[in-house]
Amino acid sequence: MPIPATEFIWFNGKLVPWEKATVHVLSHALHYGSSVFEGVRAYETPRGVAIFRLRDHTRRLFDSAKIYRINIPFSAEAVNEACRQVIAANALKRGAYIRPVVFRGYGEIGVTPKIEPPTEVAVAAWEWGKYLGHEAEEAGVDACVSSWQRVAPNTLPALAKAGGNYLSSQLIGMEARRLGFAEGIGLSSDGTLSEGSGENLFLVKDGVLLTPALAHSVLGGLTRDTVMRLARERDELRIVADQVGAPTWARNIADATAHVIGHALRLRGQGQFGSDLLHMTAAGATSW
């Protein structure tokens, strides 16, 4: 179903009606993928709505923009305040999904135009439930290992959360759905595990928390970082962030706990892994 409209979107420095937040069809980002964005969750708490690691999300937004040499005409604090404004202005008291996006707008045509197109900045927020559906929390989901691999580190920078990078994710996700799965898992260019179409991967076995290293075309997910921090603080799991071969994953997952986490979802559960199938249960919604 379409994104549920709220009343306002913060667009280039001010709140505008949802339907007025428009861009030109010849905007650079629409043709060449030159956008960076974040997906931020805000949660209802007894003290009001709380935004999960907002400053860290905004820092990553600015880092992504620097990688792609997109100049953001606002300060990080201005973007943080915009996120707060769209929550308040739209009365999203039960929490929300927040989408800051920065993109090259309408200007000269061409992949690298001589005159830099203007940079547009927008922040929208709306209520968004569980990414894979409410039934996934109890019944779990089926995921396949995709025939599409993630981009190699020297082709596109996986550490940047950029619009164009997600064409790879779309191929992985669309193939999975075409084959009847809820989600797809991509391997890195060397055949080791990388990530899902929009999630990081974890395996817990024998007191070890195993996850692919960032060098394996992995986005540095903030929930990934949070999970690793919590594990260190509890001192219950030894953390190994390294290459994880698909055969190793398949061999160990039958009696381990598999997790896939992303900004729009958090997956957890007892895993079953065949040649191309992973079954997991889902719970909650958090951050990639």
Radius of gyration of the chain (CA): 19
* Annotated catalytic residue 161: yes
232 falls within a domain: yes
Q: Domain check: are 122 and 144 in the same one? A: no
Q: Domain check: are 149 and 85 in the same one? A: no
Instruction: Name the 3-class secondary structure at 138.
Output: helix
- Separation of alpha carbons 9 and 12, rounded Å: 10
Is there a contact between 74 and 11 (Cβ–Cβ < 8 Å)?
A: no
Query: Residue 74 has what pLDDT?
Result: 98
CATH number at residue 239: 3.20.10.10
- Model pLDDT for residues 101-118, shown as the tens digit of each residue: 999 999 999 999 999 999
Q: Domain check: are 255 and 157 in the same one? A: yes
Q: Is the dihedral of CA 168, 252, 177, 264 positive or negative?
A: negative
Catalytic residue, candidates 14, 20, 66, 161? 161
Of 86, 107, 126, the residue at which a domain comes to its end is 126
Of 93, 126, 159, the residue at which a domain comes to its end is 126
Hey, which bits of 46-86 come out as E strands? Answer: 48-51
1 falls within a domain: no
Query: Residue 86 has what pLDDT?
Result: 98
| Of 214, 204, 268, the residue nearest 239 (C-alpha) | 204
Q: Domain check: are 274 and 153 in the same one? A: yes
286 falls within a domain: no
Number of structural domains the chain divides into = 2
Per-block average pLDDT, block size 10, for the chain (288 residues)?
92 98 97 97 94 97 98 98 98 96 96 95 91 63 89 90 96 96 90 88 82 88 89 78 57 53 44 36 34
- Model pLDDT for residues 11-48, shown as the tens digit of each residue: 999 999 999 999 999 999 999 999 999 999 999 999 99
- Model pLDDT for residues 193-221, shown as the tens digit of each residue: 899 898 888 888 778 888 888 888 889 99
Domain hosting 67: range is 8-126
Which pTM does this prediction carry? 0.85
